[in-house]
Amino acid sequence: MSLISTEQRRIGPFEVGPVGFGCWRFTNDRVDEAAAILNAALDLGINLIDCADVYGYDWGGQGFGENEAILGRIISADPSLRARMVLATKGGIRPPLPYNSGREYLTGAVHDSLKRLSVDRVDIFMIHRPDMYTHPEELAGTLTALREAGKVAEFGVSNYAAHQSDALQRFLDFPLVTDQMEYSITHLDPMRNGVLDRCMREGVTPMPWSPLGGGALATGKGLNADLVAKMDELADRESVSRAAIAVAFVLAHPSRAVPLLGSQSPDRLAEQAAAVTVSLDREDVYALIQLSEGQALP
Ligand SMILES: NC(=O)c1ccc[n+]([C@@H]2O[C@H](COP(=O)([O-])OP(=O)(O)OC[C@H]3O[C@@H](n4cnc5c(N)ncnc54)[C@H](OP(=O)(O)O)[C@@H]3O)[C@@H](O)[C@H]2O)c1
């Protein structure tokens, strides 16, 4: 029996497809090209669109806020797109300062994001990385005020340890609904460090980032040859690409995650979205884990 759950996911009032589209690498001088990529994702049923205010700062971008601004230009040119997407963004990183979740900063950051995105409200806002110098009670107050002001519908965290999420949740009157973590065949920590367990305990939707390990699981570059051979065997068996097997592995976890695809190629997005057609059983996923870790599980 396949472990992969292909149904739509409920995130608060929103329904999203089993894979999402990430805008980290969305930097593009040509707004029409960027719009074509976004439309390709939406046409594939990929309606969760994940951005962050810091996207554009690296990965070939010109600066902070750039990728939100590109999305905003696309939405302004075709406002009908807004209703087709569940729009998520993140804040709390302001280079060169690593993290700031202080009330004044974060409130301003959300307002700035809304302006760049040309929207009145985002559907999901996530704290990009934990700021160890903001008390969770202060942060909870900031999020509550943003929700009451109608600026954000639902909140989540990103790169939080499970106990950090618990500390924030303790001061909130509404549930955190999403959690972003690095999770893939080559980054298995969340299976064991409590992050995915907490998501299942609390009914939080995980949004694993870099499901292809940033591309390595598609190219095979830097991976052990036995792991690549196993992925290729499964890809042949399932008539999909190696990359789709990597995405399917993330979908197989019982937390009903929504992996965020980072490709900027419509063809590759389609190829990877085919992960939902894949059937993986325990034998398959444990083989991949053991080959990735280079040793047998105890
Ligand atoms: N919360 C966080 O801290 C955090 C951190 C990182 C990322 N994220 C989110 O997760 C999303 C996905 O992350 P990611 O971009 O690292 O995901 P990924 O899907 O692991 O990697 C995407 C990269 O792989 C390349 N790729 C895909 N298929 C390929 C193939 N067949 N051959 C060669 N290269 C291939 C893509 O290039 P092409 O474009 O050429 O296909 C792209 O550069 C981001 O956009 C962002 O939304 C969140």
Question: Tell me, what's the pLDDT at 126?
Answer: 98
> Is residue 61 predicted with pLDDT exceeding 90?
no
Q: Which atom of ligand 1 is nearest to 129's Cα?
A: 3
Q: Of the residues 263, 264, 267, 269, which should be mutated to test ligand 1's pocket, given the most ligand atoms within 8 Å of the CB? A: 263
Residue 194 Cβ inside 6 Å of ligand 1? The answer reads: no
Strand order in the sheet with 260-261: 205-209, 178-182, 152-158, 122-127, 86-91, 48-50, 20-22, 260-261
Question: Tell me, what's the pLDDT at 190?
Answer: 98
Residue 114 Cβ inside 6 Å of ligand 1? The answer reads: no
C-beta of residue 41 within 8 angstroms of C-beta of residue 51: no
Q: How far is the CA of 47 from the centre of ligand 1 (A)?
A: 17
Residue 8 Cβ inside 6 Å of ligand 1? The answer reads: no
Peptide linkage before 96 cis (omega within 30 of 0): yes
Question: Tell me, what's the pLDDT at 29?
Answer: 85
Q: Which domains does the chain have, with CATH numbers?
A: 9-220+251-278 (3.20.20.100)
pLDDT single digits (tens) 281-292 = 999 999 999 999
pLDDT single digits (tens) 24-55 = 999 988 999 999 999 999 999 999 999 999 99
Instruction: For the chain, give the mean pLDDT.
Output: 97
Read out DSSP for 256-279? ----EE----HHHHHHHHGGGG--
pLDDT single digits (tens) 104-163 = 999 999 999 999 999 999 999 999 999 999 999 999 999 999 999 999 999 999 999 999
Rounded distance between C-alpha atoms, residue 142 and residue 50, angstroms: 21
Strand intervals (E) in the chain: 9-11, 14-16, 20-22, 48-50, 86-91, 122-127, 152-158, 178-182, 205-209, 260-261
> Is residue 84 predicted with pLDDT exceeding 90?
yes
Measured in residues, the chain has a length of 298
Average pLDDT, integer, range 228-246 = 98
| pTM exceeds 0.95, yes or no | yes
Rounded distance between C-alpha atoms, residue 41 and residue 272, angstroms: 11
The 8-class DSSP code of residue 18 comes to S
